[in-house]
Amino acid sequence: MNRFVAADPSKCIGCRTCEIACSMAHNGDGTPAPLSDENFKPRIRVIKTATVTTAVMCHHCEDAPCLNSCPEGAIVYRNNSVQIDQERCVGCKNCMMACPFGVMDVITVPAVKEFAGVKMTTGVKAQAHKCDLCTDREAGPACVASCPTNALHVVDEESVEKSLADLRARTAVSSIAV
């Protein structure tokens, strides 16, 4: 089972703290920097309607349509999640079109080439952009840690088994009480 972040709309207050935490966690060199239009690229989005507010992000699907649509093999299963190999991504947008949840984006970033040991920006490059579960972050997804109402949580095999065990225990107690 792939891990993913789930949102509880009954707890979400629409504060967008998760979006800010996501952008800060993926802000290149890891140093705090003021957010701007150029570097505010969250991999999670808060959606607001008249009656519901919730966060949406990659579901890390078991049979991921984005992975199956990628002609370059840039989307892979790694560490019980769906990840993007940016070195292989050509920005073709097939993954974006294939995502049934509309959470895959294609963004532009500076294209960097190395000449004689010196890295130089040579323009821009399009690349796929989605939740990566903050795999480089030891504490786990920044959005989960920053949510003030605990509306976000990581779902993995262990948490599903615990939820099922709790449900079975409650069901057994309620059937005995009847």
What pLDDT digit, counting tens, does each position of 55-82 carry? 999 999 999 999 999 999 999 999 999 9
Q: How confident is the model at residue 112 (pLDDT cuts 50, 70, 90)?
A: confident
Segment 162-170 shows an average pLDDT of 90
Query: CA nearest 74: which of 141, 129, 134?
Result: 129
Buried b (16+ CB within 10 A) or exposed e, 104-134: bbbeebeeeeeeeeeeeeeeeeebbbbbbbb
pTM: 0.86
Q: For the chain, where are the alpha helices, taking DSSP H only?
A: 17-25, 65-69, 94-98, 142-146, 157-177
Contact call for residues 104 and 89 (beta carbons, < 8 A): no
Q: How confident is the model at residue 38 (pLDDT cuts 50, 70, 90)?
A: confident
> What pLDDT shows up at residue 61?
97
Per domain, the residue ranges of the chain are 4-177
Query: CA nearest 41: which of 129, 123, 128?
Result: 129
With vertex at residue 8, the alpha carbon angle to CA 7 and CA 10, rounded to the nearest 5 degrees, is 150
